[in-house]
Structure 1
Amino acid sequence: MRTTVDQPFEAALASVRTALGLQGFDILTENDLAGGLKKKLRVDVASLVILCACSSAPAGRGQRAEEATGALLPCSVVVRAAGQGRTVVEALDPLTGLEGNDDTALQVVAGAAAGRLRSVLVSLHAAAAGTTPGTEVPTGVSSARQEAEEGGGHGARP
């Protein structure tokens, strides 16, 4: 899942943190990939931060449903500068990791987390566009399946 917002990186990163919190996610870790590459390899890349977010209630239900839930959690959210005051926000769809798994309880938990992540992206897109989020997904928010069908296929995985 992804969206691009017309916000500079730092403002978008703050908006993502807020939007995740409003959807019940806690940020467990934050990895400044650009800073790490600069420090360890002296490589300059555009600003890029990976947030590992977890929603405690669904995570607890998932853990009770299937002990292997830990492999699906936390949810990865990538925030990266796209240049010219724009920022890309990508989230790994938790349902993607369940392909081939028929555990209905786990599918429900992953579906709930995916819905919350989609709500985060929709709210970011709407806020950056100066509109109120509606029930429809704006064209600026896409899923991995949509991107694969359109030939992009790379946007859902950070």
Structure 2
Amino acid sequence: MSYTLNRLLENTPFDEAEARTRSALAERGFGVITEIDVAATMKAKLDREMTPYKILGACNPPRAFAALQADPRIGAMLPCNVIVRAVEGGVEVSAVDPVASFAEVEAEGARAIAAEVREIYVDLIANL
């Protein structure tokens, strides 16, 4: 099982791919509560150049709350990250597969929520 759900947006500018990803998340009830500009961080911390790469920490509050109620330690796996990164030929968007991420979680309720989020992310990635 892969740990990410992926799609290559061919010949798409980075800013457009990021905007489409943010919009698709919002349409499905997810907010971006954390954001890491990896390229800017590597430049600032290591003086190293890299292609555009952002990590968007997405959260669906009702599902996050339910997962935390099922298993308070699940917070170590939240938010559900989505990356947007420039690659040859376009931009790749990858979302964490919450089913793979929660594979060792014993709380059935948390695993059920992971399955719900996975289905949302599969649809989101397919329809970018």
TM above 0.5:
yes
Which structure 2 residues correspond to residues 105-120 of structure 1 after superposition, within 5 A? 105-120=109-124
Q: 1:67 aligns with which of 65, 72, 96?
A: 72
TM-score relative to the length of structure 2: 0.90
Do the aligned partners of 1:4 and 1:88 also contact (CA within 8 Å) in 2?
A: yes
SS of the residue corresponding to residue 44 of structure 1 reads coil
Q: Which residue pairs with 1:52 in the alignment?
A: 57
- What runs of 5+ residues in structure 2 fail to find an aligned partner? none
Which 4+ runs in 1 deviate beyond 2 A? Answer: 100-103
Q: 1:43 aligns with which of 48, 54, 57?
A: 48
CA distance in 1, matches of 2:46, 2:105: 39
Which amino acid is the alignment partner of residue 81 of structure 2? S
Q: Which residue pairs with 2:30 in the alignment?
A: 25
Q: 1:122 aligns with which of 114, 119, 126?
A: 126
Q: CA RMSD in A?
A: 1.2
Residues 12-58 of structure 1: per-residue CA shift (max 9 Å, x gap): 01110100101110101111000111122211101000000011111
Identity value in percent:
30
Equivalenced residues, count: 123
Do the aligned partners of 1:23 and 1:119 also contact (CA within 8 Å) in 2?
A: no
Which has a greater percent of strand?
Answer: 2
TM-score relative to the length of structure 1: 0.74
Q: Which residue pairs with 1:89 in the alignment?
A: 93
CA distance in 2, matches of 1:12, 1:99: 30
Which amino acid is the alignment partner of residue 118 of structure 2? A
CA distance in 2, matches of 1:50, 1:101: 24
